[in-house]
Structure 1
Amino acid sequence: MLTKAAFTHGKGEPFQIDTLQVDDPKPGEVLVRIVAAGICHTDLIVRDQYYPVPLPAVLGHEGSGIVEKVGDGVTSVTPGDHVVLSFASCGHCKSCMTGRPYACQTFYELNFTGTMHDGTCRLHKEDGTDVANFFGQSSFSGYAVVSERNVVNVPKDVPLELLGPLGCGIQTGSGAVLNKLKPEIGSSMVIFGAGSVGLSALMASKVAHCGTIVTVDVQDSRLEFAKELGATHTINPKNVDNVVEEIHKITEGGADYSIETTSRPEVLRQAVDSLATLGTTVIIGAPALGTEVSLDVNTILFEKKVTGLLLGSSIPQIFIPQLIELYKQGKFPFDKLVKYYDLEDINQAAEDSETGVTIKPIVKIS
């Protein structure tokens, strides 16, 4: 089968649209007609080779679409089902077997090395040259072959083109709060960065009934938007002498929880230094491989925790339907974050994401 797709040839090069060959699904795999796909920060840092995914590749890992065909042994979906695509996991390592697929021991191999679980690709140029897969889905394409473990069945009474970002960015931010931190009612939360991940964490903090929710960002327009979504306080680092001191004032001694989404080492230091005793910082921002940060060990000694996070510590087949239900109830209005683009405008969408013009671009594909 032939499909239109946006792919990247070399480091930092813009996406190019061309026609590719898509294989049929193998046993345990699903062919999905992609309706739309969100653009995530991770797509852009892979395009720029912060993570060395083989090129050429079709990126995209926030796809939503309709099941077209299933391979042998697939039981969770049937043709015609509406689905969201999330990350790949093996299903048989210790982490997967204990209900933590986000910590799959082969997560990197399955999502970032350019092939499917069997070491081969499902996308090819018309001359037969392989095009690398990404995140087990490569959803910047009209059709995608994915593992059954990537697929999340979703209800048909919600716009399908809206749902793709639940597969990564929105799942990650909200899961940091609802799955990882599980904050006590009335606790204080500080979120560094008001992009789609940070604002998803903000909305989840409101769902969790946090008492004080502080958002830190350098764009005043995003801080105003954060207030609309439920932030009780906002801080623009350009307008204060010391962000950490300001947070300690607001929270009367330090935050119970902080979330770092910006990928900047100096901001991670602020997130940790902003904590109260017994506080926890979650790291979400993904900088280039090898990035290091300096922390004061004596700060950590005061019963403080720093932890990483992958994909919201979630089981997508459980958590994504929960987020959709919160959205339907009006408690998680993630639709306010998005702006739609046609596939032909994917480079404009990427630029708007990087410059902050658009919080969450979604590329409509079919």
Structure 2
Amino acid sequence: MVKTIAAVVSGADTDYVLEELELAEMQADEVLVKMVASGMCMSDETIRRGNTAVAFPVVLGHEGAGIIEQVGSAVKNFKVGDQVVMSYAYCGHCESCQQGRPSVCDDWMKLNFSGVREDGSHTFYREDKTPIKNFYGHSSFTTHSLVHESNLTKVDADADLRLVGPLGCGFLTGSGTVVNGLKPTIGSSIAVFGTGAVGLAAMMAAKLEGCSTIIAIDIHDSRLELAKELGATHTINSKNEDPIAKVQEITNGRGVNYSVDTTGVSPVMKTALTVLGKGGTFAPIAVSRNSLEIIPTAEITMASKNMIGVVMGDGIPQLSIPQLVKFHKEGRFPFDKLVKYYDFEQINEAAQESVSGAVIKPILIMDKTYRQ
């Protein structure tokens, strides 16, 4: 029986507690991963707060990076010793998956949010055999985890696993929303609301895609300064300036071609739609229960505006993650400027500093001996 140390959330709005859990027997299509590090995402915080249907107790985390220690008998594409980054799970055989869109897999919610394997079994148990739910088919707030093959992306041996975990969700979502969802034309304009990990990834991708006007909107001056460093051509502190009027000024009254909201705040989403020019496209991508009230004829139809849904950046992790690693090596996607490292035992501190805005992307280190 393999044991693991996991950060367990036992109920809504309770702290993470490190517990020793037992792992179930590995299935044929799974691997055992020794976790090196994991990013923390605001989706984890949303679930910890009890704002979703995910059941407790649960082990969260979905931006893991680690090394394969065991391989199931049906696994074909991975071997012991491979360095891997973990992202979402998908079935691989439904119509959406076959069309190259695994982020809208027919079984996406079941595989990622049900807390159990596809056959209904659990992967984590307390010593008294109480089952613990998993998350995203793997749960990365652990020292070891059983991971389905579809969750895995192999990265080169020279990739630093202490850094690359967040490419599995936050940075994949932000960059993919621009590249795969909005598909901006060279020389176009974009406004990004919220300069957290997802928003800044969207801005870096907009720069890569050739947008000539990249507007960052936030309420934190320090984050707006970082946005300038990462590609923003203009910044707006919406506490001090009217973002609608300012965008109109920047674009000579035309509005932007594209906008992205990463806040999920209702008035901010409304503003992100309003600042679009004719024919523009808006992508609201925050995990939020907040609503957006619009008058379709006046606010969308008559200006030929578009609003699109983009899940996980509409990316195929096995293609997108290595590409982002390559861009980082080339200095064109410097996401390392957004991270702060914490020991695994500091998980609650890391969560608090992320929520407060003091830190953009916390990364927990599970294996302190990695590369020593």
1:293 is matched with 292
Q: Which residue of 1 aligns with 2:249?
A: 249
Shift of 1:359: 0.3
Residue 317 (structure 2) pairs with residue 316 (structure 1):
yes
Q: How is 1:187-336 mapped onto 2 (pairs within 5 angstroms)?
A: 187-240=188-241, 242-252=242-252, 253-288=254-289, 291-297=290-296, 298-301=298-301, 302-336=303-337
Structure-to-structure mapping, 1:37-186, within 5 angstroms: 37-186=38-187
Query: Aligned equivalents of 2:232 and 2:226: distance in 1?
Result: 9
1:20 maps to what in 2?
21
Match of 2:370 in 1: none
Deviation per residue, 1:86-135 (Å, 9 max, x gap): 00111121111111000011211111111111111111101111000100
Instruction: Give a deviation string over 1:267-290, Cα, whole Å, max 9, x none.
Output: 1110111101110001111113xx
Deviation at residue 157 of structure 1 after TM alignment: 1.1
Moved over 2 A (4+): none
Structure 1 gap ranges (5+): none
The answer to whether the 8 A contact 1:247-1:255 is kept is yes
CA deviation profile, 1:283-337 (whole Å, cap 9, x unmatched): 111113xx32112321201211101111110000001000000001010000111
**Equivalents in 2 of 1:286, 1:162: separation in Å?**
24
**Alpha-carbon distance in structure 1 between the residues aligned to 2:142 and 2:344:** 9
How far 1:23 sits from its partner (Å)?
2.2
CA distance in 2, matches of 1:121, 1:161: 28
Contact residue 181 and residue 314 of structure 2 kept, 8 A: yes
Instruction: Provide the C-alpha distance between the structure 2 equivalents of 1:49 and 1:76, rounded to a whole number of angstroms.
Output: 36
User: How far, CA to CA, are the matches of 1:212 and 1:247 in structure 2?
Assistant: 10
The one-letter code matched in structure 1 to 2:248 is H
Shift of 1:144: 1.0
The residue number in structure 2 matching 1:358 is 359
Please say if residues 278 and 305 of structure 2, whose CA atoms lie closer than 8 Å, have aligned partners that are also in contact. yes
Structure 2 counterpart of 1:123, which letter?
Answer: F
TM-superposed CA distance for 1:24, in Å, is: 3.4
In the TM superposition, residue 25 of structure 1 has moved relative to its aligned partner by 2.1
Identity, % of aligned positions:
46
Root-mean-square deviation (CA, aligned residues, Å) is 0.9
Corresponding residue SS for 2:308: strand
Paired residues in the alignment total: 363
Contact 1:90-1:106 within 8 A present in 2 as well: yes
Once residues 361 and 90 of structure 1 are traced to their aligned partners in structure 2, the CA distance between those partners, rounded to angstroms, is 30
How far apart in 1 are the matches of 2:312 and 2:8?
Answer: 23
Separation of aligned partners in 2, 1:117 and 1:328: 36
Shift of 1:52: 1.7
Amino acid at match of 2:322: P
Are the counterparts in 1 of residues 342 and 364 from structure 2 also a CA contact under 8 Å? yes
Q: Distance in 1 between matches of 2:92 and 2:120?
A: 16
* Matched-pair contact (CA < 8 Å) for 1:24–1:31: no
Q: Deviations over 1:220-239 (max 9, x none)?
A: 11001101111100001111
* TM superposition shift of 1:188: 0.2
Contact 2:4 2:145 in 1 (8 A): no
Shift of 1:186: 0.8
Structure 1 CA distance for aligned equivalents of residues 310 and 117 of structure 2: 23
Q: Any stretches of 5+ residues in structure 2 without a counterpart?
A: 368-372
Alpha-carbon deviations, 1:176-203, whole Å to 9, x = none? Answer: 1111112111100100000000000011
SS at match of 2:300: helix
- Alpha-carbon distance in structure 2 between the residues aligned to 1:342 and 1:24: 28
Amino acid in structure 2 at the alignment position of 1:296: I
Distance 1:250 1:25 in 2: 56
For 1:31, what is the secondary structure of its paired residue?
A: strand
Where 2:145 maps in the other structure, the secondary structure is strand
Confirm whether residue 2 of structure 1 aligns to residue 3 of structure 2. Answer: yes
Give the aligned residue type for 1:293.
L
* Letter aligned with residue 20 of structure 2: T
